[in-house]
A = this chain, B = another copy of it.
């Protein structure tokens, strides 16, 4: 591995192992080494070396992915971008920032807020995940119901291609149609087309007031789903709208005692960050009552808002207490939300599997979490059988296999069901244009 940027290369097996994993259970192989890139030049050097020696490269940010896209196999080089943490520019006048891929997403958001702006995409991992990883997976989050996903905030990229050439895509302007949309092509491509070394992202005005929050309890997922549809149809424009199913609520209640009623089968928590947010939260509250909610609360102070949204924040921790978690990520047309939740409950019952679901309800994006015994290294067969049923149902309802986590390794076996053979051929063709030797994160995404 000489000619690799020497000071950046790690070959200690324990360190390598820690850089070969993500947040899935997928066991990594034994990579040759890890490059801790500190600059674009380090990335260029690494990729030129990899091309010359035909060695696969697995790029990674913070390794918080949930689909296995950053899991590294035998004999590869892991290319970590986590040390490229510069916010190179932040222009309040143009509402853009230019950042290196290792910037922690929440750090960019905080830097923007010093100027009355925000970086909108907020995956649940945003305090620990990087912009580079967010770009690689086209990460979503809670606010995307109002502000869109990572792609909607990405204007341009600097990318190092597999052979070390540098490609600039996109622009600094709000609009632009010069040539094909290469920026959009890289966002969500999971490091299989090139390594992003800089991104020009769009910032937005931060809301002037703290968000107003409501929470509502429902006796059935169907009522909760109807309330979601009615809220969106009324044009309330929630800045966040999360749904928790009975199993999730039970897990939270067992841990922190939130006084869960027996009759409560689903909870909806929503926010408005608009200037008239308080009125809007009250309007959403009324819509929930009109759709059968048994209990509804609206915050009147930021502290109360934090308390209501706090329940949502407990969801994942409550599930992790109960066992190992396979976090899934289907997305359906919004009108099918309740149907999807019921289908998940049926799959859980049929296969004897514990599935707790939280959803970005306004987007129809559900995260069924399959909980299984910590003792098993991999999810047992019944978990996969239930997951298969969930995926098949999502597709039947006009949905997709993954709303925001990506395909990685975990979803590849279902990919053909959604995309079909022509799409597969075309995607392989595109991959070959950028990476003819197939050294960039092989076996992922497509």
Contact = CB atoms under 8 A, between A and B. Distances in A.
A446 B178 CA distance: 8
A21 interface: no
A43 to B, nearest CB: 15
Interface in A28-81: none
A177 interface: yes
Nearest to A334: B94
B229 A177 contact: no
A404 B187 CA distance: 21
Interface string A317-349: 000000000000001111100000000000000
A433 B429 contact: yes
A398 B429 contact: no
Q: Which residue of A166, A175, A229, A360 has the most chain B CB atoms within 10 A of its CB atom?
A: A175
A232 interface: yes
A129 to B, nearest CB: 15
A331 B434 contact: no
Interface stretch (A103-111, A260-268, A286-294, A415-423): A415-423
Interface stretch (A137-145, A297-305, A378-386): A137-145
Contact of A181 (B177, B187, B407): B187
Nearest to A188: B177
A430 B174 contact: no
A440 interface: no
B415 A178 contact: yes
Nearest to A206: B235
Nearest to A167: B422
Contacts of A140: 175
Given A188-B180, A423-B179, A400 B149 contact: no
A227 B94 CA distance: 14
A124 interface: no
A90 interface: no
Q: Which residue of A138, A140, A177, A422 has the most chain B CB atoms within 10 A of its CB atom?
A: A177
A180 B173 contact: no
A21 B152 CA distance: 34
Contacts of A398: 172-173
Contacts of A7: none
Interface in A223-240: 229, 232-233, 235, 237
A213 to B, nearest CB: 20
A259 interface: no
A189 interface: yes
Contacts of A402: 176-178
Contact of A175 (B175, B335, B403, B420): B403
Contacts of A229: 93
A333 B181 contact: no
B91 A333 contact: yes
Interface in A369-416: 398-407, 411, 415
Interface string A183-200: 011011100010000000
Q: Which 3 residue pairs of A and B lie closest in terms of their CB atoms, listed nearest first? A: A184-B184, A429-B433, A93-B335
18 contacts: A92-B233, A138-B177, A144-B175, A165-B422, A167-B422, A167-B423, A171-B399, A172-B398, A173-B363, A173-B364, A175-B363, A175-B403, A177-B402, A177-B404, A180-B188, A181-B185, A429-B434, A430-B430
